Amino acid sequence: MASGGLKRGEKILFGIFALIGVFAVASFVMLEIVRARSDKPMYPNTTHYDFSAEGLRGSVLVRKAGCLSCHRALRNGTSMGLELDGIGSKRSFQYLLGFLKNPEATYSTKTVDHGALPKGAAYVAELPEADLHALAIFLSELRADQGSAVARLPAEGRSGFIDEMVRVWAPDNWKSEYKDVRDEVKQQEDKHDAGAK
Ligand code: HEC
């Protein structure tokens, strides 16, 4: 390189990198300022809980039993992606208890960590019966708002966008192989309406 000076192309390239860096820092500072001044949370909280006595016992157990080294719940645990918040709106109590006791027979696909040794969470099924019961109650009391990412049911009301996506992208055999969860919502609403009349 000629006596330490930068070539034109290098200047442009480094200039672009510097701009990206400045832009990122400026965006971050602005975001933090907006966040600090706003009285609304940036992300609405879509999960909630109201524990019964046994659910409360489960919430202590979930920490003691080491579940949070793999899972996240109630702002505790790891962020590996195995969220338990909201799971009670997706799975029934019966399912959850079945899964804890007998994961391989309950889970819809092959399990990674729950199941027989040497799987990492093999110990879970061996916990005392009463503890598994309390854990399942606890899990079933972790609820999510309908329509949020962790809920089983989509937002209320029919979405033309989803109808269109299903029509265009869902393979034909899906219609016979799977049930559309939105039909379930509709049936409930119809039943509710019929009851109201
Ligand atoms: C070694 C890591 C690990 C530990 C410890 C662990 N889990 Fe899990 N858990 C997983 C993984 C991975 C999955 C996804 C299923 C699978 O592949 O085993 C899962 C799935 C689940 C599910 C979801 C089941 C479903 O069908 O949606 C529940 C509920 C659950 N675990 C509860 C617990 C509880 C309660 C404990 C503690 C007593 C625990 N887990 C300990 C890794 C772990």
Burial class (CB in 10 A: 0-12, 13-18, 19+), 99: buried
| C-alpha 35 – ligand 1 centre gap (Å) | 34
Distance between CA atoms of residues 57 and 52, nearest Å: 9
Cα 31 to Cα 17, 22, 24: the distances in Å are 21, 14, 10
Distance between CA atoms of residues 70 and 123, nearest Å: 13
| C-alpha 13 – ligand 1 centre gap (Å) | 47
Residue from 119, 117, 118, 93 nearest 106 by CA: 93
**Which atom of ligand 1 is the closest one to the Cα of 115?**
18
100-157 pLDDT, tens digit per residue, is 999 999 999 999 999 999 999 999 999 999 999 999 999 999 999 888 888 888 887 7
20-47 pLDDT, tens digit per residue, is 999 999 999 999 999 899 888 777 788 9
97-113 pLDDT, tens digit per residue, is 999 999 999 999 999 99
Position with higher pLDDT, 53 vs 4: 53
**Which atom of ligand 1 is the closest one to the Cα of 119?**
1
Ligand 1 residue neighbourhood (C-beta within 6 Å): 62, 65-67, 69-71, 82, 84, 87, 91, 96, 99-100, 107, 111-114, 120-121, 124, 135, 139
**Which atom of ligand 1 is the closest one to the Cα of 124?**
38
Show the tokens assigned to 20.
Answer: 């990206």
